Chains A and B, each alone.
Chain A
C-alpha cells in the first residue's frame, strides 16, 4: 500500500495541480458573489459556491482514474502493481485527502466571507451553520467518490465527465419543467445533487421534500453504491 500511495502521489504532483486550486477559487468566488447579494437563507447563500465546486471535484476524480485509461498509463500501473484494489485504494485515499483539504479551505473561507458580508448571519457556533458547513464538506467528498465510481465504470474520461455532471446538474433544472408535484418530489428526493444539497439549508426546513441529513444520506448512498460497482468493474475487467 505504501508503494502504491507513493506511486500515485508522484503521478498526482508531477502534473500541474489545477484541480484543488480551482475547487477553492470557484467555490469561494461564487459564494462571495452570492453573499454580496444576500438572500432569505444566509447560510445557504454563503455556501452557494458548492454548486460550482462540485463540478471541479467530479472532474478531478474522473481525470485521476479514467485519465489513465485514456492514455494507456493504466496498463503500466496495473503491471507494476497487479493488485488493482490496492491501486484504487491509494488513488481514493489521495483524492479524498486532497478534496477534504480543498473543501475545508473553500467552505471555511465561504463561511467567513458570509459572516463579513451578510447582516443577520448566525454565530459561528450555531448548530445549523455547523451542520451546513460540515455537510458541505461531506457532500464534496461524496461527489469525489461518485466521480471515481462513474469513471471506473465508463473509463472514457469525456463520457464520464459528461455523465457525472449530468447527474449533478440536470435534475434541478428538469424538475422545473415537469408540472407534476409528485414527480417533482420524487426526483428531488432521489437525485444526489438535489437531495444532497439540502444539507446547506437552514431556513424553512419543513417545506423541503427531504430533510438535510437524510438528503446527504441519499448522496452518500449514490456515492458508495457507484464506487462499489466501479471497484468491482475494475477488478473484473481487462485493462
Chain B
C-alpha cells in the first residue's frame, strides 16, 4: 500500500507526466469531436438531403431485406410445404477474369418458404430455405441461422401462434425438424409464401495502395417450386427493391418476378435477407480517431515513468526504501496502469456520446450499435490504453533506456495495426497480425459482429477483427504480463 502511494506521488508530482495523461485524454476528445464535425452527408444535388439508409430489424440492428416474395395472407395457424425442383442463377463478371456473366449460384443464394410480418423491410420473419452451397437452413430475424440436412429439397414451414417450425426432407416422407423458433409479437395475420434472394458476389483483395478493396457484383437466382401445398391466389412483391438501382441485366435480360404454369411457380430474385455490415454506413467507433494518438502519448509517459528512475539514479533510493524489487516494479505497473485507465475511461466515456450527438445533430446516419456494445467499446478502449501503458512500462523496465523502449512499444502496438489496416499486406497476413501481436487488443473496438451466414469478407480494414473483443485484450494482457514478469526476474538478479 505504501508502495502504491509512493509511486502515485511520483507520478502525480512530475508535471510532465500528468500533463501527458491529461493530454492523452484531451487528444481523444478533440480528435473525436473533430472527426464528427468532418462528416457531411449529402445525397444527390441537394446538400444535406436525406440519404437512403438500411432498415432496422426486430432487435434494432441495421439489416438488408431485399428479396422476391410470392405470398398470400395467413390468419391464425397453418402450414406450407413445397419442393424446390430447380435452383439456378447468374453471377455477373466474377473473378478471376471479370469478363463475362456466368451461370451459377453464390454460396448463400436462398430459395425457400417464409413467414413474415408483412412486406415492410425489416419486419420479423422466419424462413426455411435451400442455399447455393450451405445445404438447407432455418433462419429468422436476420441474425439467427441454423443448419438442416444438406441434400434435402422438400421444405415445410408451420406456424402455431408465435412459434414457427421449419422442416426439411429429401423424399417428402421422412421429415427432419430443423428448428423451432419464437417470433414475439407476431400478429394474427401474417404473409406466408415462397421467396428467392441472391446476395452479391463479394471478394476482397489488397488494394494497390494499401488497405483492402471489397468488390460486390450483382447476382440473380431463379427457383422453380412445385408441389406447393397452399392454394390461394398469390401476390408478388420485390421487397426492399430500389427501382433506381436496377442493373443492365435486370433492365434488358431478366427482371425479378414470378410466373406460374402447370402448378409450378418460378420465382426470380436478387438481394439478401441478412444483417447489414459496415457497408451500410459508419458506426460511432470512427470518432475514436484520437485513441491511436493517445496510445502514443501513453507509451511515452509509461516508458519515462520507469526509465527516468534509472537515468537519474532514483531507482537506488527507491530500492533502498523498499527492498522488495519485484513488488516495487509491480506496484509501479499497477499505478501507471490505473492512472491511464481512469484518464482513458473519462475520455472515451465523454467522447463517444458527445461525438454521436454532434453527428446526429448534423443530420448524419450512424449504423445502430447496441448499448452493451457501446459500453464495451468505452470500457475496452480504456483497458486497451491501460494495458498498453503497462506493456510500454515493462519494456522500459527491461531495456532501461528510453529511446529503444518507446520505439519497441510503438512497433509492438501501433505499427501492426497500421500494417493490418492500411498497408498492402493481404487480408490473411493482416488477420494473423491482429491475432498474435499486442495490437490484437484493437478487436475491442469492433462495433458490428461478423456473421458466418453472410458471405462477405470481414477484413481488419473494414473494422472486423479475427479475435473476439475480450480475447484480443487478453492477448495484449498476456504480452504485458510476460514482459513484466521478465522485468521482475531481471531486476531481482541484476544490479540497479
Contacts and interface: CB of A to CB of B under 8 A. Distances in A.
Contacts of A177: 31, 35, 286-289
B182 to A, nearest CB: 39
Contact of B429 (A37, A175, A204): A37
Interface string B457-492: 000010000000000000000000000000000000
A110 interface: no
Interface string A166-191: 10011011111111100100000000
A18 B421 CA distance: 29
Contacts of B404: 18, 59, 63
A208 interface: yes
A102 interface: no
A52 B433 CA distance: 14
A169 B299 CA distance: 14
Nearest to B307: A158
A51 B418 contact: yes
Nearest to A62: B403
A145 interface: no
B406 A165 contact: yes
B424 A165 contact: no
A63 B403 CA distance: 7
B39 A51 contact: no
A136 to B, nearest CB: 14
Classify chain A: how many residues form its interface, as a range. Answer: 35 or more
B304 interface: yes
B36 to A, nearest CB: 9
Contact of B424 (A48, A58, A59, A174): A48
Contacts of A33: 429
> Which one of B304, B407, B419 has the greatest number of beta carbons of chain A within 10 Å?
B407
> Which one of A41, A67, A169 has the greatest number of beta carbons of chain B within 10 Å?
A169
Contacts of A169: 296, 410, 414-415, 418
A47 to B, nearest CB: 10
A166 B296 contact: yes
Contacts of A58: 407
Interface stretch (B204-212, B235-243, B317-325): B204-212
Contacts of B461: 176
A199 to B, nearest CB: 12
B208 A40 contact: yes
A166 B293 contact: yes
A44 B414 contact: no
A45 B424 contact: yes
Interface in A46-67: 48, 51-52, 55-56, 58-59, 62-63, 66-67
B407 A178 contact: no
Contact of B297 (A18, A162, A183): A162
> Which one of A157, A162, A174, A178 has the greatest number of beta carbons of chain B within 10 Å?
A162
Nearest to A70: B311
A158 B402 contact: yes
9 contacts: A34-B424, A44-B208, A58-B407, A162-B297, A169-B410, A172-B210, A172-B422, A179-B39, A207-B208
Interface of A: 18, 26, 30, 33-34, 37-41, 44-45, 48, 51-52, 55-56, 58-59, 62-63, 66-67, 70, 157-159, 161-162, 165-166, 169-170, 172-180, 183, 198, 201, 203-204, 207-208
